[in-house]
Amino acid sequence: MRKALLIARHEFFVTLSRPSFRIFSALVPVLAVLGLGTISVYQTVRDHKPEDAIQAGVIDLTVGQAGDPLFTSYRQQDNVTFVLMTDPQAATRRLIDGDIDKLYVISENYLHTGLINEIKPEQAGIGGISEASGNPNQAPLGRFLLNNLFVGEVGPDRAQRVLDPFTIVTTEVSPDGSVVVEDRDLGRLLFFIGLGVMLVVSVFTTSGYLLQGLNEEKENRIMEVLLSSAKPEHLMIGKLLGLGGAGLLQMLVWTASGLLFLVALTPIIEPPKGLDLTPPPLAIIVGAIYFVLGYFFFGTLMAALGAITTSTRESGQVTAVVVLPGVAPLWFMEQMIENPEGPLARAASFIPFSAPLASLVRLGVDGMGLLDLVISVVLLAGSVVLAMWLTIRLFRAYLLMYGQRPGFRQILRTLRNA
């Protein structure tokens, strides 16, 4: 074991010294900092940008019950000040002189017709006072009118509801008539999916380094020296441990920078209601188990590929055999989220290739029972042992085979005779 640890230490520091590893590891923190910076700058600019004060002239020709015009209150709406005027000529002069930006003449029979005459200088824009995306009631002119219309008619709550009439909450009813309880926790789902994606990226990155390292050692011809000093199993376990440590460090850097990003973001952007990204208590343990087992499984398979391929280029071409089944759950994520206890999701969490990601997705929607979890972990752990056993045989047979890739039948014969 001492040799395996020595090899692990060597591999760990060699991986850390790789520029590609450093750049990739720093990518998430750098993106987080850049993202945070961009959002902060945007918010600062937005908050401090003095919106142009707009003066809108209003000539109100309506007559209320008391003989007074209807629209005399609520004259300040956001950056728009509605200035009451009575003399059309004077108002037009002020419009031409630029004292006011627009002039609204509310017709005498407004309550019946809703007619308002907007007078504006030639070439002036149309938005700003009477336009609002989606809901004209939300435009400053709309709110000015509505608020004045409600004065004395309805209470403030009702007035608010007229302005913002509904917030939808949907309840699903199952065929038997019972209400489907929607208990999906978005924060939990996001946490587990994030963990799963990071796990897959980190596992494939670090096991890719393992593959690259093995090929380099074959190409550099140092492999034979190593094999004269350590047994193939020491070599393989040492490499897995060293690179796994590097992968774990990378994941810690990513997770920590992601969490710091969220913490730093909270004062700037209010998180959606009900979104709690605090990891559930067992999530870290289960995530760590899947990370370790997933890494050892894929890492060992990558090591096997490294043993039977002859160059970094060639090994890069065949890694899809391992990578594609590993990321396959991403294609079926929607189905798994919708039906986490369905046959597809269950099968995916039992097949060792897809188990790490599929299981984390199921755990994210709280759709994986303890029995399924135990079966998934046991199958994955068993697959790790089997993969190691086979890979050690391939190490012995093919690590010193330079420039000649064994055929599939030859590999099978090697494993059978081992």
Partner 1 sequence: MTTPLTMPSVEAIDLWKRYGDRDVVQGVSLAVERGQMLGLVGPNGSGKTTTIRMVLDIIRPDRGTVRLFGGRISQAAQAKIGYLPEERGLYKGQRVLPTLVYLAELKGLAHAEAQTRAYEMLARVGMAEHANKKVRELSRGMGQLVQFAATVLHRPSFIVLDEPFSGLDPVNARIMKEVMGELNQQGTSVLFSTHQMTDVEELCDNVVMINRGATVLNGPLLDIKRRYADNAVYLETAAPFASPASAVEVVGRGRGHLIRLRPGTAPEIVLCELLDAGVRVDRYELATPSLEEIFIRIVGEANA
Which residues contact partner 1 by CB under 8 A? 3, 6-7, 10, 14, 216-217, 219-222, 224-231, 396-397, 400, 402
| Nearest to partner 1 of 3, 120 (CB atom) | 3
Q: State the nearest-atom distance from the C-beta of 228 to partner 1, in Å.
A: 4
Strand ranges for 177-290 from DSSP E? 179-180
Any idea what DSSP says for residue 136?
A: G
Q: State the nearest-atom distance from the C-beta of 206 to partner 1, in Å.
A: 18
Q: State the nearest-atom distance from the C-beta of 234 to partner 1, in Å.
A: 9
| Nearest to partner 1 of 10, 75 (CB atom) | 10
| Nearest to partner 1 of 31, 225 (CB atom) | 225
Q: State the nearest-atom distance from the C-beta of 379 to partner 1, in Å.
A: 31
| Nearest to partner 1 of 231, 405 (CB atom) | 231
| Nearest to partner 1 of 105, 230 (CB atom) | 230
Q: State the nearest-atom distance from the C-beta of 397 to partner 1, in Å.
A: 8
| Nearest to partner 1 of 6, 379 (CB atom) | 6
Cβ distance 352 to 383 under 8 Å?
yes
Q: How far apart are CA 235 and CA 221, in angstroms?
A: 15
Q: Identify residue 383 by its one-letter amino acid code.
A: S
Count of alpha carbons within 13 Å of 20, Cβ hemisphere only? 7
Six-digit token string for 370: 């303890």
Cβ distance 301 to 387 under 8 Å?
yes
Q: How far apart are CA 47 and CA 363, in angstroms?
A: 40
* Residue 364, Cβ density class (10 Å: 0-12 exposed, 13-18 middle, ≥19 buried): buried
Cβ distance 171 to 181 under 8 Å?
no
Residue carrying structure tokens 């005399």 = 72
Q: State the nearest-atom distance from the C-beta of 210 to partner 1, in Å.
A: 15
